[in-house]
Amino acid sequence: MTDDAVPELDPVIHAQARLRVVSSLSTLREGDSIAFPRLQDILRMTPGNLSVHLRKLEDAGYVEVTKTHQGRTPATLVSLTRRGRLAFEDYTTAVRALLNGGAGSQEQS
Amino acid sequence: MNEDDQPLDPAESLRLIERERSATARRIIPDPRLLLWPWGIAWLIGFTVYFLRFGPDGHVTVDMPAWLPLVVLLVLIFIAGTITGFVGGRAARQVSGPTSRQGKMYGWTWGLAFSGMITVLSRISELLPTAQATLLWTGTLTALTGALHMAGGAIWNDRTMFRLGAWLSVVNVAGVILGPGWHALVVAVAGGGGMLVAGLVSWLRLPHVADGERARR
C-alpha cells in the first residue's frame, strides 16, 4: 500500500470529544436540532467542555448553534450542518478504509 | 492539549461512533412500547368488559351496571392518552425541527378527527337501540384508529405502523359483519392484541435494540 492511498482523517472530527459530539448529532434527522442541556446530558460532558468543542465544530462549519426561545425560556439548539454531515460520512468511510486496508500492513510493521 | 483532543486509532473510532449513536438514539427516539402497549391494554380490557356485559343477542355474561363498561373504557383510554402525550411531549422538548413538527401535526390530527367523530355520533346514537348504538361507536372508533395508523405508517414510512392500521381496519369490518357483541370481542382480542404485537415488533426493530441483540449473540 502506498502512502497516498491512506485516506486523510479530518482533524476537526478525529479527536475523541468532537467525534462523540458529531456521532451523537448524526443520529438526528436532517433539519432537526437538539437542546444543549439534552446533548450535554447524553454525552456526559460539562457545559464548558461541550461549548469549547461546539465552538471548534462551528468554526469548521460542521455544527450550527442557534439561540432561541421556547415559550419564555431561552434555549440553545445544536444541529449538524449539511457540511458537517458530509464530513462525518467521509470520516467514517476513511476510518473503515484504514481498518480494512491497514489490517495486513499493520502486522508487518 | 487535553485528553479529549487525543486522536484515536481507527478501530477505537468506529466503536466510539457506534456507541455514541446508539446511546443517543436510545435517549431521543420514544420507546414504541410506551406508545402502543397502554392502548393495547386499554382495548384488550376495555372491550372485553364490553363483551361481558353486552354480548351477542343481548347476552349478559357478567352482570354489572350498564354504564360500567363505558366508564372502564374511557378511564383506560384516558390513562393511555396521558402516557402517549407525556412520551411524545418529552421527545418534542428534546429535539426541534421537522420531526417534532410532524409529531405535533399528527397529534392534532388524532384529536380533531376524534372530536369530529364524537360530535357526529353523539347526535345519532341516542336514536338507536343500545346494541346498534354500541356497534356504531366501537365500529367507527376502530375504523378511524385503523385509518390514522395507516396514514401514520405512510408519513413515517413505517411498515409496522401501516400493517397495524390495515389489520385494525380489516378486523373491524369482520367484527361489524359478525354483529353487536361479537364485534367487541374481536376488537378486544385482535385489535388490542395487534397493538401489543406491533409495539413489541417496533421496539425490536429500533436500531439500538437490534444492534444490542446482535452484540449479545
What is the DSSP track for A19-81?
HHHHHHHTTSPTT-EEEHHHHHHHHT--HHHHHHHHHHHHHTTSEEEEEEEETTEEEEEEEE-
Asked if the structure places residue A38 within a domain, the reply is: yes
B60: left (phi over 0), alpha (psi -120 to 50) or beta: beta
Contacts of B11 in chain A (CB under 8 A): 99
Q: Return the C-alpha torsion angle A43, A45, A51, A56, nearest 10.
A: -70
Domain count, chain A: 1
Domain span including residue A42: 11-98
Asked if the structure places residue A24 within a domain, the reply is: yes
pLDDT for residue A107: 42
Mean pLDDT of B144-158: 96
Asked if the structure places residue A109 within a domain, the reply is: no
Q: Specify the residue for cell string 492511498.
A: A5
Sign of the dihedral defined by the CA atoms of residues B195, B197, B198, B202, in that order:
positive
Distance, in Å, from the CA atom of A50 to the CA atom of B178, rounded to the nearest integer, reads 62
DSSP state of B158: -
pLDDT for residue B114: 93
Mean pLDDT of B94-114: 90
pLDDT for residue B213: 63
Each residue of A39-51: pLDDT tens digit?
A: 999 999 999 999 9
CB B118 within 8 A of CB B141: no
Restricting to A residues 61-90, those with a Cβ less than 8 Å away from any Cβ of B are: 70, 77, 79
Q: What is the CA radius of gyration of chain A?
A: 17
Q: What is the CATH number of the domain that holds A89?
A: 1.10.10.10
Distance, in Å, from the CA atom of A61 to the CA atom of A63, rounded to the nearest integer, reads 6
Asked if the structure places residue A52 within a domain, the reply is: yes
Each residue of A18-40: pLDDT tens digit?
A: 999 999 999 999 999 999 999 99
Asked if the structure places residue A103 within a domain, the reply is: no
Average pLDDT, whole number, for chain A?
Answer: 86
Best mutation target among A32, A36, A43, A55 (most B Cβ atoms within 10 Å) is A32
Mean pLDDT of B128-151: 94
Nearest to A31 among B6, B25, B97 (CB): B97
Contacts of A99 in chain B (CB under 8 A): 10-11, 14
pLDDT for residue A106: 45
Phi/psi for B145 (5° steps) reads: -60, -45
Given a cut of 90, whether residue A1 has pLDDT beyond it is: no
pLDDT for residue B217: 58
Asked if the structure places residue A68 within a domain, the reply is: yes
Asked if the structure places residue A39 within a domain, the reply is: yes
Asked if the structure places residue A36 within a domain, the reply is: yes
pTM for this model (two decimals): 0.83
CB A41 within 8 A of CB B28: no
Mean pLDDT of A58-83: 91
Contacts of B96 in chain A (CB under 8 A): 32-33, 35, 70, 77
Residues 6+ apart with CB under 8 A from B56: B179, B180, B181, B182
Q: How far is CA B17 from CA A20, A23, B205, B206, in A?
A: 7, 5, 20, 17
Q: For a pLDDT cut of 90, what percent of chain B falls above it?
A: 68
DSSP B41-94: HHHHHHHHHHHHHS-GGG--SS---TTHHHHHHHHHHHHHHHHHHHHHHHHHHH
A55 touches chain B (CB under 8 A): no
Given a cut of 60, whether residue B99 has pLDDT beyond it is: yes
Q: Per the structure block, which three cell numbers stand in for B190?
A: 385482535
